[in-house]
Amino acid sequence: DAKTTQPNSMESNEEEPVHLPCNHSTISGTDYIHWYRQLPSQGPEYVIHGLTSNVNNRMASLAIAEDRKSSTLILHRATLRDAAVYYCIRNSGNTPLVFGKGTRLSVIA
């Protein structure tokens, strides 16, 4: 049980920002929110993670709601190479990652 809820699919135009939502309403205080993505025919790739504060890195930004029951992965400018399945995962560190179905992002040129 992934314990997160994501839309099955989303579509974006190239060069535009993308906001990928995730609900984790039963998150515990020690759970981090991790995002991974899986490009076609490749292994999952780490994107970003956070606990309470918003986080930025070279790949994306992670906005975490104040009550921590939801989060949003933000790709600032989608490219064709960002087309992938994006997984939102809650994890407290002592257990392996539990992947759900994720959101399949399509990027239109």
Partner 1 sequence: DTAVSQTPKYLVTQMGNDKSIKCEQNLGHDTMYWYKQDSKKFLKIMFSYNNKELIINETVPNRFSPKSPDKAHLNLHINSLELGDSAVYFCASSPIWGQISYEQYFGPGTRLTVT
Contacts to partner 1 by CB under 8 A:
30, 32, 34, 36, 38, 41-46, 49, 51, 85, 87, 92-99, 101
Shortest separation between residue 90's beta carbon and partner 1, angstroms: 12
Shortest separation between residue 27's beta carbon and partner 1, angstroms: 14
Question: Of 14 and 49, which has the nearer Cβ to partner 1?
Answer: 49
* Residue 11 three-state SS: strand
Q: How far is CA 48 from CA 26, 37, 45, 56, 79, in A?
A: 20, 10, 10, 8, 18
Within 10 angstroms of residue 92's Cβ, the number of other Cβ atoms is 11
Shortest separation between residue 68's beta carbon and partner 1, angstroms: 15
